[in-house]
Chains A and B, each alone.
Chain A
Amino acid sequence: DSGVTQTPKHLITATGQRVTLRCSPRSGDLSVYWYQQSLDQGLQFLIQYYNGEERAKGNILERFSAQQFPDLHSELNLSSLELGDSALYFCASSLLVAGELFFGEGSRLTVL
């Protein structure tokens, strides 16, 4: 158990819909990262937050947004969903700015 909690574990929705994925980092970790894992794209970095502030942005679509709240949990919002958004979405947290990441078990999103 990494200490990182992601909900929901599985989510099935339709194209055009909007979903929110939630991540609770390990106790004390200030950094939260979001990744998308799909068969054809591998593990793609989406966005990083540090203590509530956006720190780095990767290949995140404009239809996606994220935020980190004062209690350090984070949410990833995916809107206008397309079939290609079907993937496993991982959250990871880190104590240090450049420390190792601890991953949650992921949220599997299926868009029909």
Chain B
Amino acid sequence: QKEVEQDPGPLSVPEGAIVSLNCTYSNSAFQYFMWYRQYSRKGPELLMYTYSSGNKEDGRFTAQVDKSSKYISLFIRDSQPSDSATYLCAMSERSGGGADGLTFGKGTHLIIQP
């Protein structure tokens, strides 16, 4: 079953706070885990991806995958008003194209208050 759960928010935090965004999933075959950022009236853009379990850091962003708990997280440090967007998690069993496409979460609307 392809199901990904993500709290839609909105999540409102003050500038400079640490933000934690999360998704849970049920399909144990998922191997690739992604976070996309979507600004209003724009298409999603890839923010980070992780293969299998573990952490990955890129500047202020850290992606974390716990396959044993079927739980992924995105942490944003020193949050900025420009981080205000909808964040979509996505997962897939394989990295290639074809029938095994991406399964997306519903997205979390994040608001960083100046």
Indicate, yes or no, whether A interacts with B. Answer: no
Measuring CB to CB, which residues of chain B are less than 8 angstroms from any residue of chain A?
none
Measuring CB to CB, which residues of chain A are less than 8 angstroms from any residue of chain B?
none
